Amino acid sequence: MEKIYLDYAATTYVRDEVLEEMLPYFKEGFGNPSSLYESGRRAAGVLDAARKSMAKSLGAASKNEIHFTACGTESDNWALRGIMEANAKKGKHLVTTAAEHHAVLHAAGHLETLGYEVTVLPVDEYGAVSAEQVKNALRADTVLVSVIYANNEVGTVNPIREIGRVVREAGVLFHTDAVQAAGSIPLDVQKDWIDLLSLSAHKFYGPKGVGALYVREGVKIAPLLYGGAQERKRRAGTENVPEIAGMAKALLLAVQEMDEEMRRISLLRDYMMEKVRECLPRAVVNGHGTHRLPNNVNISLKGIESEAALLSLDMAGIECSSGSACTSGSLEPSHVLLAMGKPPEEVRSALRFTLGKTTTKEQIDRVLGQLKELHCRADRLEEC
């Protein structure tokens, strides 16, 4: 039985081209980029090339705006804590949304314990906020606004450009968690008025354990780690050269192939959502109908607990999730679906299918068949 993997929002495999890019720097090119001799200069050159490539992929003005981190969670934490600490003289007010990844929400919660004030904006029935909401939440002492680019659970894409514009006009800094968006939809930090942007390589066919934080030139941010001059004295520690090289390659490939892949995967997504609505009366599709990531299908199969459905699908060789991979071991219901106003029955029965490079229409049809079986089983139990 062929295994069907539909949890690409949780993680992706490393592409062959990316692995090939990384391998030389584990052995013959293993020099420390802070060293002055030849092998160190070579490693430093690899970092420089990766910075240039990623800056171009994100529409950044300078390679110096790219800072390497260990993951998206680290990037989010650094953005919030570093900006609020460095700009505390202006104020202590932060604006974010109820549908953010926990990396943002928990960092914001920590800031509250330190005396900062956080406004958490409610989201609409799709999990989105509007530029008007953000504008109305701004105050004279607001330092930072953080709004997720595309929701990691339901795939809804926020109006980032409009939000970025109103935030910039107010003289406030704007951060977006683009961990799910990067590599899937076009990003341009200048056109979108973004001051800080987080991403993680393993979401776009790069290695785990490496990410980046874009910080617009001139933005004041406190260092994340102390003890060295790396990353413009903002994040001490020897850089992960092989994985940084892999991340830059993975993002470059994703951007180069984006138009074609978006068309292909969007058709599969729309086909799956259409069939779910057509064949599964119990099912509800969560998230926006059109303003959503091209690979995300999130449904609630009412009457069937998520955990039971996941186990049944796993036995049939289908791997998906009930929400964010970072909370998959938690018994807590999805904070995103709750923020969207979903009733408890729909929250408890949510399933997230995220498509990727290996996904085919035949696989989608097989998944739909298994969902129909679950649907029929729930009907029989209800009749009993």
> Percent of the chain having pLDDT more than 90?
92
Whose structure tokens read 């909401």? Answer: 133
- Say which CATH number the domain at 167 has: 3.40.640.10
State the total domains in the chain: 2
Rg (CA), the chain: 21
Last residue of a domain, one of 192, 225, 256: 256
Which domain-ending residue is among 194, 222, 256? 256
Does residue 282 share a domain with residue 152? no
- Residue of 279, 320, 326, 384 with catalytic role: 326
Question: In the prediction, which pLDDT does 375 show?
Answer: 81
Q: Is 279 a catalytic residue?
A: no
Q: Which CATH number do you get for residue 357?
A: 3.90.1150.10
- Whether residue 242 sits in one domain with residue 112: yes
| Single-letter amino acid code for the residue at 137 | A
pLDDT band of 326, cuts 50, 70, 90 = low
> 154 and 31, same structural domain?
yes
Same domain, 346 and 238: no
Query: What's the mean per-residue pLDDT of the chain?
Result: 95
Q: What Å distances lie between residue 190 and 161, 165, 168, 220, 251, CA to CA? A: 10, 10, 11, 17, 18
At residue 382, the pLDDT reads 56
| Residues 264 and 375 both lie in one domain | yes
Could you tell me if 49 and 158 lie in one domain? Answer: yes
Q: Which residue has the tokens 């709750």?
A: 338
Which residue range is the domain that position 366 belongs to? 4-12+258-383
Q: Name the domain boundary from 223, 256, 289.
A: 256
Task: Give yes or no: residues 32 and 115 share one domain.
Answer: yes
227, 113: one domain: yes
In contact, 1 and 314? CB cutoff 8 Å: no
Residue 251 shares a structural domain with residue 292:
no
Nearest to 27 by CA among 17, 41, 39: 39
Per-residue model confidence (pLDDT) at position 250 = 98
- 188 and 83 inside one domain: yes
Considering the chain, what percentage of its residues have pLDDT values greater than 70? 96
User: Residues 190, 312: one domain?
Assistant: no
The residue length of the chain stands at 384
Residues 94, 122 share a domain: yes
